[in-house]
Amino acid sequence: MDTGDLISTTIAALSLIATAIVAYRQTRIQARLTAIEETRRREQAEALRHADIRAMVAGTPTALQLVLANDGPATAWEVWATELPVGSDDPPLFHGLDELEQAPATLRPGDRLPFPVLTLAETAERVQVVVSWKDEAGPHRESFTVQLP
């Protein structure tokens, strides 16, 4: 075996080793990417089961409304809410909100459920609204502090 054959054999061996290392690394990277993609798919599937219910105040100072909104991809059912004062003043009156306890609503994705606000002289400017609902992921209860203008 001459020097040229030895060099050729060494280069071929090194190429084979380098190819094996690259293949091993690519396999590990592909496995990590697959795991990340699977996690993302599971998270997306789980997110599709959740309604995203929010309580907010909308309208003008003379025509205020408390709005319950579903900004999520799933339908929320058995939606009801109650208000609690923040501080010592009485909470404002939300016309129709009390009826939700007897007849809870259903909010599909994108639905808005308005309740006109009646404010009196000694009405609190901030109100805590506690909203409960059920969706495909189960029961939920969330508290929102809304500011009245």
pTM of the model as a whole:
0.67
**How do strand 138-147 and strand 126-135 relate by DSSP bridges?**
antiparallel
Which residue bears the tokens 């089961």?
49
67-113 per-position pLDDT tens digit: 999 999 999 999 999 988 777 677 788 888 888 778 899 999 999 99
Here the tokens at position 43 are: 């998270």
20-72 per-position pLDDT tens digit: 999 999 999 998 998 889 888 877 766 667 899 999 999 887 788 999 999 99
110-120 per-position pLDDT tens digit: 999 999 988 76
Here the tokens at position 117 are: 């606000």
Residue 45 · residue 32 · CB < 8 Å? no
